[in-house]
A and B are shown apart, each in its own frame.
Chain A
Amino acid sequence: MHLIRTHRTFSKLKSILLRRHSQAALIDQNEYTETPEYPPILDMSIQGRKLRERETMYEKIKQLNTVEEKQIALNMPRYYGWPCVMLNEDKIPYNAMPLVQCYTRTHFIPTEKLPDSYADTASTADEITKEVKAFIEDALCIESEGVEHNFSLSLEKPEPSQKEDALAKCIVRQINRIISNNLTDKVPHIISTQVDYDPRHEAFWFVGGVDIPDSVLNWRKKQSWYKDRLEENLDRPVQYIGTPFLTLRNKLPLKPIIPYSEAENADFKVPKFSYSPNNVGYFTNFRHGTNMPGYWPGDYDEFGMLSYHGRGHILDRKESFGPEDNLEALHCQAMKASFGWLLAQANYQGFTTYNDLTYPLATQTVITNGQLWSFYAYQLNTIVMHNEQMDENPKHNVCFGTKPMKLYDSIENGKVQGLNEEVLKTLVQFYLNSPEEREHDLKPYLGKEEQVVADIEDDRKRCWLEDRYKHLVANRPKHFLPPETYLWEKIFKIQFNLRFHEKKRRPFELDINPYKRRLNEHLPPYIPKLLRKYPRSKKKFENTYYPDVLNHK
């Protein structure tokens, strides 16, 4: 023991000596240059320093190798999850369009027919429509009259909307079956397309430029250093959750609808919506941000082609909202669903809400109840819209959408009356739109060898990350209850100092905000002494492999 200690002090001494020496040598070499070299001038105001801190974090997230690590990294700052604005697919309050457009940064173009890029498939679509028409008529009849379905209804939603959705789901499955069976011989991409029933779609991103909540404003008014930046905006985390009836996805991405250069077109500018979302009727919920396009990272078919959604929720809306707002609600649903799905796909390509897409992605969305069909084509150009980028980012997303159109007028005595071929043709054109190989790198921000966690060599790290990621995105309740300030504490300890004689132990008395706890601030699993490495290992806790993206406190 004695020996070791002397040795240690000696080595320390040596290193100090050496360092001084080497530093001196360094100065000698580089003391003079031809032109004077100044260090960069940094903005040393508090905003400047904070901005630099955030930017280093974004850069660190960009440097991470695998998809899962990036997803964990997005959630690193919050142990109890983000207070997310919940954009559910089927909950659309009155007059939500401006908010949805701003939050998804989408310019909406109402059209009667599909955009120009679909023009060259029109003639083939006509032929196919003629071929499948009779079969689709049959299927419509059979589904609505010929088969006895037993839909299991839940008590959580009103009955008519559930019934409509259930029937629409059956019809959509039949129509998808008929069209894709017909097309397999004619177009090559259909056979390799995967069809998902009721996949889980989730997406998470940050939106800047939103007014701060009153509670934050009141808090800031009390802090002296916030005097000149009371109204400074914060990033708002947003979470989309939806379940389409059916999706098609493919190995290759779809062609962009409009050229990528058009993304910066000033005509597509979306008006900013700075009111807080609970003004409109969207509310927040604490959860970890999740990005999920219906499959785990590592699946082969990563790019969406087409998704079908239900419109049963329109029946649950109040009558006073009126038909005009119901139409807007459909557009909102389409924008949310398309943006959410594409964003989740983009996340699997290694982009996050902090690192922008380098190429456009496209998808097609159909909203239907079996009879009424509306079609949307969506192009995702940008996914960054956090505080710094909200005003500066010149790119916008574009969504083309039609009004709901009737596929048929009515079904009488087992016969479909007045089948609208135009609607069917549009749908066929969506199927004919073939994905294409892109010339650029699809995953520029992912590692060369390691792109998903399954590629990692180190067994422990791989298992740990896989486990942690699945646990995080499951959003299952924490083992311990989240921290809470009880009402009596708020009254007698915070508002009126009536219990001054008590020891100060609670977080608010120690000036700690428990919700600012970071994801990695917990004890790792304990290694029992029996299991430690043989000749006395002092290591008490197992390794954790959290991505190191946060700035040190």
Chain B
Amino acid sequence: MSTRWYPIYQRGNPQLRVFLPNFWMKLVRPLPKQLPNTVSFQCSMEMTKYDIKNYLEKIYNVPVVDVRTKITMGKFRRDVGRGYVVKDDDVKYAHVVLPKGQTFEYPDLFEKSKDDDEENMKSLEEAKKSFKNYIDRNKDRQDVPSWFSI
């Protein structure tokens, strides 16, 4: 499937190489209001609707009823530092329709990190509190350095 050139072997190069296929699909967060039985993907430009259908059915055993593809224009942005307007690459989106009863929910990827966040926030709060205590305590002797205490 890969159309990449196999580079000429030079001494010292790895003997085994892994070639990724040209066809790839990336599951993306759906639009805010979308039917529950549709799934959105970004995919490589070369893939046709039939490719997408086969890809999902043959590799992942996902029942696919219908595929709608759309190529969206990449964003324009200012180049950092230089100030030119540059354009990002275009993206092909594939909206895949699943059979009627099935639903798809985009997974919450950062469930674990949420706990971490909470912990961080907790320690931050504590630090803030102790600092406030310290300020309160030394309210009356503002010009005294911190090491000068009992």
Residue ranges of A at the interface with B (Cβ–Cβ < 8 Å): 93-95, 211, 214, 274-276, 279-281, 318, 320-322, 325, 491-492, 495-496, 498
Contacts and interface: CB of A to CB of B under 8 A. Distances in A.
A305 to B, nearest CB: 35
A321 B33 CA distance: 23
Given A321-B66, A492-B85, A496-B85, A95 B76 contact: no
Interface in B47-62: 53
Contact of B31 (A214, A320, A322, A491): A214
Nearest to A324: B100
Nearest to A273: B35
A281 B97 CA distance: 10
A231 to B, nearest CB: 10
Given A95-B100, A321-B65, A279 B38 contact: yes
Nearest to A231: B33
A496 B66 contact: no
Contacts of A491: 76, 85
Nearest to A94: B66
Contacts of A93: 66
A275 B32 CA distance: 10
Interface string B73-102: 000101000000100000000000101100
B34 A320 contact: no
Interface of B: 31-35, 37-38, 53, 64-66, 68, 76, 78, 85, 97, 99-100
Q: Is the interface of B mostly helix, strand, loop or mixed?
A: loop
Contacts of A211: 33
Given A275-B35, A276-B33, A498 B97 contact: no
Nearest to B73: A487
Contacts of B99: 322
Nearest to B49: A318
A320 B35 contact: no
B34 A498 contact: no
27 contacts: A93-B66, A94-B65, A94-B97, A95-B35, A95-B97, A214-B31, A214-B32, A275-B33, A275-B34, A275-B35, A276-B33, A279-B33, A279-B34, A279-B38, A280-B35, A281-B66, A318-B66, A320-B53, A320-B64, A320-B65, A321-B65, A325-B100, A491-B76, A492-B85, A495-B76, A496-B76, A498-B85
A502 B100 CA distance: 54
Nearest to B99: A322
B51 to A, nearest CB: 15
Contacts of B68: 281
A322 B32 CA distance: 29
A79 B80 CA distance: 43
Contacts of A318: 65-66
B88 to A, nearest CB: 13
B71 to A, nearest CB: 15
A320 B64 CA distance: 8
Contact of B78 (A276, A280, A496): A496
A495 B88 CA distance: 15
Given A95-B37, A214-B31, A495-B76, 17 more contacts: A94-B65, A94-B66, A94-B97, A214-B32, A274-B33, A275-B33, A275-B35, A276-B33, A279-B33, A279-B38, A318-B66, A320-B64, A321-B66, A322-B65, A322-B99, A325-B100, A496-B76
A322 B99 CA distance: 10
A321 B65 CA distance: 6
Contacts of B76: 491, 495-496
A94 B85 CA distance: 41
Nearest to A275: B35
A279 B38 CA distance: 8
7 nearest A-B residue pairs (beta carbon): A94-B66, A279-B35, A320-B65, A211-B33, A491-B76, A94-B65, A95-B100
Contacts of A322: 65, 99
A322 to B, nearest CB: 8
Nearest to A490: B76
A214 B100 CA distance: 25
Contacts of B65: 94, 318, 320-322
Contacts of B78: 496
Nearest to A214: B31
A373 to B, nearest CB: 26
A353 to B, nearest CB: 25
In the complex, which of the residues A93, A322, A496 has the most CB atoms of chain B within 10 Å of its own CB atom?
A: A496
B69 to A, nearest CB: 12
A322 B31 CA distance: 27
